[in-house]
């Protein structure tokens, strides 16, 4: 898609700063550049990330590496069956000296919140994150408290070991902008991991390479990325196709359309563009939409997961023609 002006200096700064953060994370996570890029995309799109994979592939390491690469408050929550909603959001405690109730903020009051094994907690506790993730606020005992920006929840879960877990309901999954799987490393990356991680964890040496204010500026720059009307319609067509597919009994929500476009803006900005093209949407369709969908019984019988259904839909939905701004 053609444009008629140069890329803004603000966008140039974004690319440079994002490159520093990306290099910092990749010094810990070897051979997963695509995963790291998607993680940054979600951060700049003001979204939340669900990392789902088998144990030992670096899910928590990725979350911690991102958190340590940015000089901002970070809190980690280990989700367990006995965790209470107040353990996440905070609680009002009585102060005997002032004879008044005081609010004690929970770990959700941070810029980056890492939730380990989120499906280990009960649905009641999981739901404590719904308001935080959607509205960036917490309501306790009738009082509402705003969460600082940027705010990002990075949750991990193990899809294999399901004993003693509570699967995330559709409403909770829909709050996550994208879901990714780390996958096993290539043999060369695993060999390098043995050399680098053998003596000590590289996380111990990781230093912040960006400030909170810089990340805020990056997010503001992403908001200014241009999305043409044909591109917006293309995003709606892609999402509508999931609702009409006979292979899916639950299509993508209107919230997913919004988050797909937001992620596309961030994806374009990381590529050094101040405008979105169809390729941005196509590359993000699977990670942004797949976890929100439920396959039909027939698709399950044919072993057609939502990822494959989306890939087929992307090939069938007409792509808008290039236009000049």
pLDDT tens, 165-194?
A: 788 888 889 999 999 988 777 787 777 777
Residue scoring higher pLDDT (319 or 29): 319
Of the listed ranges 52-66, 92-106, 283-297, the one predicted with least confidence: 52-66
Mean pLDDT calculated for residue range 296-307: 90
Mean pLDDT of 271-284: 94
Q: How far is CA 126 from the centre of its chain?
A: 16
Judged against a pLDDT cut of 50, whether residue 4 lies above it is answered with: no
pLDDT at res. 56: 72
Are 283 and 258 within 8 A, CB to CB? no
Residue from 51, 6, 43 nearest 24 by CA: 43
Q: Which two tokens stand for residue 142?
A: 């009738």
224-250 pLDDT, tens digit per residue, is 999 999 999 999 999 999 999 999 998
pLDDT at 206: 85
Say whether pLDDT at 289 is over 70. yes
Closest listed residue to residue 275, CA positions, set 211, 232, 218: 232
Single pTM value for the model: 0.88
The C-alpha atoms of residue 249 and residue 170 are separated, in whole angstroms, by 13
Furthest-apart CA pair in the chain: how many Å?
69
Which residue from 100, 108, 103 is spatially nearest to 92, judged by alpha carbons?
103
> Rounded CA gap, 305 and 247, in Å?
9
* Residue with token string 């002032």: 98
What band does 2 get if pLDDT is binned at 50, 70 and 90? very low
45-54 pLDDT, tens digit per residue, is 999 999 887 7
pLDDT tier at 6, thresholds 50, 70, 90:
very low
Query: What number is the average pLDDT over the span 251-275?
Result: 94
Rounded Cα distance between 177 and 46, Å, is 9
- What pLDDT is stored for residue 255 in this prediction? 93
Q: Is the pLDDT of residue 3 over 90?
A: no
């Amino acid at each position: 898609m053609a444009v008629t002006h140069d890329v803004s200096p603000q966008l140039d700064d974004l690319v440079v700063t994002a490159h520093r953060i990306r290099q910092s994370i990749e010094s810990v996570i070897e051979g997963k550049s695509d995963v790291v890029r998607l993680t940054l995309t979600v951060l700049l799109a003001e979204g939340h990330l669900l990392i789902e994979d088998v144990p030992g592939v670096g899910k928590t390491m990725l979350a911690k590496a991102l958190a340590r690469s940015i000089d901002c408050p970070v809190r980690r929550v280990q989700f367990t069956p006995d965790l209470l909603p107040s353990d996440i959001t905070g609680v009002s405690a009585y102060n005997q000296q002032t004879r008044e109730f005081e609010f004690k903020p929970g770990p959700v009051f941070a810029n980056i919140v890492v939730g380990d094994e989120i499906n280990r907690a009960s649905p009641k506790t999981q739901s404590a994150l719904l308001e935080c993730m959607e509205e960036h606020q917490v309501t306790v005992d009738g009082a509402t408290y705003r969460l600082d920006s940027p705010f990002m929840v990075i949750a991990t879960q193990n899809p294999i070991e399901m004993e003693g877990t509570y699967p995330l309901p559709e409403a909770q999954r829909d709050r996550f902008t994208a879901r990714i799987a780390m996958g096993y490393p290539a043999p060369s990356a695993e060999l390098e991991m043995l050399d680098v991680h053998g003596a000590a964890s590289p996380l111990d040496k990781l230093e912040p390479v960006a400030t909170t204010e810089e990340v805020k500026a990056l997010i503001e720059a992403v908001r200014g990325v241009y999305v043409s009307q044909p591109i917006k319609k293309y995003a709606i067509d892609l999402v509508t196709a999931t609702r009409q597919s006979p292979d899916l009994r639950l299509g993508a929500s209107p919230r997913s359309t919004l988050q797909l476009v937001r992620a596309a803006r961030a994806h374009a900005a990381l590529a050094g563009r101040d405008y979105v093209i169809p390729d941005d949407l196509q590359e993000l369709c699977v990670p942004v939409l797949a976890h929100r969908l439920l396959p039909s019984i027939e698709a399950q019988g044919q072993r057609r997961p939502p990822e494959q259904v989306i890939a087929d839909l992307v090939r069938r939905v007409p792509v808008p023609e290039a236009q000049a701004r």
